Structure 1
């Protein structure tokens, strides 16, 4: 394979699993233990905001306590090395944690939002947020209480940055999916779009995803092992 100039990387929950953050759709994943319709929809928040806040307060604390693993660090290294070559990395993540940024990645597109940000349903202000949320928490922007929620994309809501992500995918010459289930759209459809555009595709995962057949090549194993190995190989091409 010729040295790629524009690499598009899509990451999912599997890249953060070894940092202690649970995956969602694997056996034993979060959605096998909790009902997403009761916790991760606008309707659920409208019915029982206290329960939803309790769930996401626990997840927020977990993200704050977690640390980046070798896969996150390798992707930050890839970004830096590609920039030195005059090439580029577009890092798109389905994850709501900030482990890519803490590992050193400078530009990350969070298509499902960020759990360390809050959004006010009243004034629409978005702000960094590391504390617990409750119905009593006032919005720092407008002062109203009861309207703050995690600024993440719930089921039934539109993912973020789709125009930017789509443009970056069309310009790529290598598409790599890391730690994704291949079950959540629109992200699960990116590999088919890449193939239709003639872009080389690769899957790095613990085990084959739901859409594994669409990839030109694959490497399987823990993200902390296969991602650094793949990136080292890629930088040698």
Structure 2
């Protein structure tokens, strides 16, 4: 069975930017090697979080879709990873620190790309640890549920049913529904609807027509999309499209 890629589709949907910033407004920090010979990278993905590093650090502001990004929304208040100085990740952190400190020509795009790699490695580590509370990361960490979630991410337009998704997870429909709700914190079809509406909002902000967005994500009409969109976002999709114009 091929190795499951839990992150690529999610990551591709949200553009990431990184800007050097003071610790007071930063949400990404890299502590240079201390006496123990290790480096540390910290991310506080929510607005309420504060780094509070207490070390010689490079700090930056990372923007990656905010609350609309389900990966960021699923993370705890603080995500940390300790890195041995001789490792591949430590080399990556050192390059990031040098670019952020010197800000030479082209530093902006370099920081964006390095920041994305750093965040992916943090996410991998968080998934490998296993989430302590229900949510998307807990679902992705489960090898059975992860396959069903990735299937929804990859084909949001498909008319998924619980039996279809259960087959992806190689579970009975009843066991799948129970495990999904307990692990992710919502039913499979509620998660699918939220994912579709996240994508629909992105497309509407870009200026796509409501009817086109409806068909893109499996809705029979603009009216059907509007009902689902209003339930999730509390406003009309046409209003989102007009405000983005």
Q: TM-score when scaled to structure 1?
A: 0.26
Higher-Rg member (1/2): 2
User: Which structure has more helix as a fraction of its residues?
Assistant: 2
| More strand by percentage | 1
Q: Which has the higher contact order (CA 8 A, sep 6+)?
A: 1
